[in-house]
Amino acid sequence: MTESFHSVPRLGVCYYPEHWPEENWANDAKQMFAMGIRTVRIGEFAWSRLEATPGVLTFDWLTRAIDSLHTAGLSIILGTPTATPPRWMLDKHPDMLAIDEHGHARGFGSRRHYCFSYQPYWAECERIVTAMAKAYGEHPGIVAWQTDNEYGCHDTIPSYSDAALKGFQQWCAKQYSSIDDLNTEWGNVFWSMEYNAFDQIGFPVAAVTETNPAHRLAFWRYSSDQVVAFNQVQTRILKKLSPGRDLVHNYMGNFTQFDHHAVAKDLTVASWDNYPLGFLTRDGYTEVEQATYLRTGHPDSSAFHHDLYRGCNHGRWWLMEQQPGPVNWAPYNPAPLNGMVRFWGWEAIAHGAEVVSYFRWRQAPYAQEQMHTGLCRPDGTLDSGGLEVSVLGEELLKLQAAKENDTVFQPAQASVALVLDYVGLEAQRIQQPDGKTFDPFRFAQQVYSACRQLGVDLDIIPTDADLSNYKVVLLTSNTISDASFCEKLKACSAHVVLMPRTGSKTSNNGIPSQLAPGVFQSLLPVKVIRSESLPDFVQLSTPMGWVAQHWRETIESSITPQTTFDDGVGFYYQQGRMHYVNACLNEPSLVDWLETFFKQRTIETIRLPSGVRIKKTQGATWVFNFGPDSIDIQTENIFIGSSRLPPGELAALRPGHFSVQSNDL
Ligand code: GAL
């Protein structure tokens, strides 16, 4: 292996040598290196060129591609090609396709055409991955392997195939001691849904009306476990045949259809694919947010995911794909503001990315993604994204050359953690009598955003993370009633903030016997005796000025609430370092509430101008202006950027006092 990835961030790019004439490869590689690019991801969709006919492996071209890239000084992240099985595979395994909930096969002609439960396909993957790992596992240019590509992309986690049905029935038989046990745990007596045997269990779809939430959560967990097992087939081989190389998978944005923390246990690094403008127009942002951040992306969207994925593998994370210009797949695909391609790169670095890799080197002139930009245009000329990456590359290498900048890239310990639990999220999503506009994942993002508007850095962590370094742990409704996690909360020294619906569901997606917040009642004496959801236009106020919306709970407690809503329902309960916030506050109230809360816990806050975010590393404070107005920074210590930041610009300051003001006069 040529380099260690642990200390300094590197730029990278996704490259498809099989799309371009071989005589271009060396030049492409040379140009990448000259731009400051040091890693290149290849191979993840190349199966039809690696094995054009069943059993005949043609690796010679890939060997030449790897050698050519390596010779130019690039480190290679080699993708396993299992997201794109070749056409002949279907003749061999006609049943390998995923089936949608209406019973239609999700056929050949694009990608991800396989069912996670179909084990003969696992064997095919095992075969190709073994062959690749034997060929390249110890190649000095290979620094990492990416398994498959974006598990779940195009809604490909659930499959309603025969293989999935059998697998699900067997999974249920393993989870529950008997069919009676399952009937009891799921509450199947309700509507006479009781089964006599495991092989009677079907999928939780295509019933007359809503299916049992326990059944749905079980099927979600089964499907998630299949992803974990599918990934393990590959990681087991790669660990053995390619020692010392990182194992990585590229996750997606705003995607929670499987337990990413569980998959992470078999990887060494988490990575994800960031398309800030695509997410803005696709993923439920308001029209005002879309208009304000059309060309910069929402100020918390990338950062939230950077912090989420940083929490998956104990701090190690890469940005595998970064938007280079307009994309092709969102409802609208605006061009980024000039400078954003560089800006998003620095933002990822500030959040601790070890690799920032752009998708893709050159725009493809054909097929599905021909309207998706690259760093270069289809004719090979450098596009504006490519020019910005060159600037970033030069800046990064210059910064890294000076020893005094070592700490600039070292993460600083965050005081605040936000817990994110995929199973709990799904439990809440399956049955949420709380209006169309509430989503537990978005709620976590809103709480995150409120903290970030106050300049507070967060880690986003799983329930099994070490809590010992945090002053505050925030639970934003997505945690099920979980006794071992509750014990950890008791044992740590942090202030624990439970937000509404925390612990309101069991692992079988029912109501805990002691009522919400379930086992967490042992942290402080609060019991939810009523919960209600409210339309967006309803706002409930308190004399302290806080306004709640969407969701409110009525609490029975021996603790006196801090205040009451206008209709007499108590709000906010505290005992020692345990806090229960029994309503969703609207954005200004949440920021306000958190500001007071953080101040009382001696966590430094700073009211940032709209659209401005900061992130601290050990040796720098990074200031990012996503907002529509320019801002002024008061400090002596700027080493990247300048004191006036127009929209879409960033600055890095040496640690020390500073202030930021909007220039919107
Ligand atoms: C990602 C995917 C890439 C490419 C890209 C386009 O989701 O991993 O292969 O399709 O989107 O934006």
Question: 10-156+228-406 — its CATH code?
Answer: 3.20.20.80
Give the alpha-carbon dihedral of 576, 586, 461, 219, to 10 degrees.
120
- Sorted by sequence, the CB contacts under 8 Å of residue 257 that are 6+ apart come out as 152, 155, 157, 158, 220, 223, 224
Characterize 203-213 residue by residue with b for buried, 16 or more Cβ atoms within 10 angstroms of its Cβ, and e for exposed: bbeeeeeebbb
Q: Is the CB of 153 under 6 A from ligand 1?
A: yes
- pLDDT confidence of residue 600: 97
Single-letter amino acid code for the residue at 645: L
Measured in Å, residue 519 CA sits from the centre of ligand 1 at 41
Atom of ligand 1 nearest to the CA of 153: 7
Question: 612-662 — its CATH code?
Answer: 2.60.40
Q: Is 623 helix (H, G, I), strand (E, B) or coil?
A: strand
Task: Give me the count of residues in the chain.
Answer: 665
Q: Do 313 and 251 form a contact (C-beta atoms < 8 A)?
A: no
Measured in Å, residue 423 CA sits from the centre of ligand 1 at 26
- Report how far residue 398's alpha carbon sits from residue 30's, in angstroms, rounded to the nearest whole number: 19
Measured in Å, residue 76 CA sits from the centre of ligand 1 at 19
Q: Do 633 and 653 form a contact (C-beta atoms < 8 A)?
A: yes
- pLDDT confidence of residue 459: 98
- Report how far residue 182's alpha carbon sits from residue 224's, in angstroms, rounded to the nearest whole number: 19
- pLDDT confidence of residue 2: 39
- Report how far residue 147's alpha carbon sits from residue 129's, in angstroms, rounded to the nearest whole number: 9
- pLDDT confidence of residue 616: 97
Measured in Å, residue 328 CA sits from the centre of ligand 1 at 10
Q: Is the CB of 327 under 6 A from ligand 1?
A: yes
Ligand 1: which of 153, 255, 327 to mutate, judged by most atoms within 8 Å of the beta carbon? 153
Write down the catalytic residue from 124, 185, 321, 388: 321
Atom of ligand 1 nearest to the CA of 275: 12
Measured in Å, residue 172 CA sits from the centre of ligand 1 at 34
Do 612-662 and 416-600 fall under one CATH topology? no
Measured in Å, residue 327 CA sits from the centre of ligand 1 at 9
Overall pTM surpassing 0.85 (yes/no): yes
Q: Is 532 helix (H, G, I), strand (E, B) or coil?
A: strand
Q: Domain extents for the chain?
A: 10-156+228-406, 162-216, 416-600, 612-662
**What angle is formed at CA 365 by the lines to CA 359 and CA 370, rounded to 5 degrees?**
60
Q: Is the CB of 148 under 6 A from ligand 1?
A: no
Q: Is the CB of 391 under 6 A from ligand 1?
A: no
Q: Any catalytic annotation for residue 150?
A: yes
* End-to-end CA gap in the chain: 55
Q: Is the CB of 372 under 6 A from ligand 1?
A: yes
Stretches in the chain below the pLDDT threshold 50 = 1-4
Residue of the nearest CA to atom 12 in ligand 1? 327
Provide DSSP, 230-296.
Answer: HHHHHHHHHHHHSTT-EEEEEE-SS--SS-HHHHHTT-SEEEEEE-HHHHHHHTT--HHHHHHTTTT
Q: Any catalytic annotation for residue 3?
A: no
> Hunting for tokens 């947010």 — which residue is that?
289
| Fold exhibited by the domain 416-600 | Rossmann fold (3.40.50)
Write down the catalytic residue from 150, 347, 553, 595: 150
